[in-house]
Amino acid sequence: MSPVPDGAVDVHAHVMTGASAGVPGAAYAPFEAPLGDYLAHLDGLGLAAGVLVTPSAYGTDNSVLLDALAASPGRLRGVAVVGDGDDLGALDRAGVRAVRVQDRFAGGAPVGALPDLLRRSASVGDRPWHVEVWTDPREHLDVLAASLATGRVLLDHLGMIPAPAPGRSDPAIPVLRTLLGSGDCWVTLSGAYRLAPGVPETDAAERLADRVDAVLDVAPDRVVWGSDWPYVAAPGPAPTPDDHRAVLDLWLPDTEVRRRVLVDNPRRLYGLG
């Protein structure tokens, strides 16, 4: 398998303590996924840094995320879920660099909040934040198009449009091409197993190879990669470290493209030195 370049970043993971029952209606109960285990996950894959996202089960409670950032400030950045009263400046000083909206699990900020969050986060710290979006973009094209005219949006999990059946054309490709061409739109290569429920990560990644190639063709400087550790509410077999290595070889076989996606792009996006 090809080596991971020095300085590589995992832009999507979660940590939890299991001490809370979670928000009402949560898709899963918080479980033990401590920071030490995540750092071991990074080390095992040869990754230098990571970005932690407040999981939906915590709603707008970012305390576990902030504790993790404080414990490893040089190596980690954060993505928070915020309400109207949250102090984005304080979150920025703690290492948060983005906020998240999503309508797939209870506890997320609604996708309709995207324009307001872009406005609120445009002047935080010394660099604008972005908003990470977890939804099927076909359901919110008007909101996304309008938002891309005003700020930076990151589409999580390869756009969250289900993977095509083997041998079928991918309906996500024209949607993602349009959004990537409409403004400062980014895409995370992650969660193949979520887009083909019940299918192992490596097989799901094969189905998504054309989508990955299309995204890289349109916007190679606006693509990043995330492991999705610890695979909350997995709809099928959770990926293993060997799966991640195999998928990186499949999706990013070119050395220069691999460095761009794993090192250059995420470090620029999250302000990692």
How far apart CA 95 and CA 127 sit, in angstroms, is 12
Beta strands 76-80 and 96-102, pairing class: parallel
pLDDT tens per residue, range 209-255: 999 999 999 999 999 999 999 999 999 999 999 999 999 999 999 99
Low-confidence winner among 13-17, 22-26, 62-66 (lowest mean pLDDT): 22-26
Helix-strand-coil percent breakdown of the chain, rounded to 5? 40, 15, 45
The residue type at 207: R
For residues 258 and 127, which has the higher predicted lDDT (pLDDT)? 258
Low-confidence winner among 42-51, 75-84, 103-112 (lowest mean pLDDT): 103-112
How far apart CA 53 and CA 79 sit, in angstroms, is 5
The full set of domains in the chain, from first to last, is: 9-270 (3.20.20.140)
Evaluate whether 30 touches 17 at the Cβ level (below 8 Å): yes
Alpha helices, H only, the chain: 35-45, 63-71, 88-94, 114-121, 141-148, 172-180, 192-195, 201-207, 209-218, 241-251, 255-259, 265-270
Report residue 126's pLDDT band, with 50, 70 and 90 as the boundaries. Answer: confident
Is residue 1 pLDDT above 90, yes or no? Answer: no
pLDDT tens per residue, range 176-203: 999 999 999 999 999 999 999 999 999 9
Is residue 20 pLDDT above 80, yes or no? Answer: no
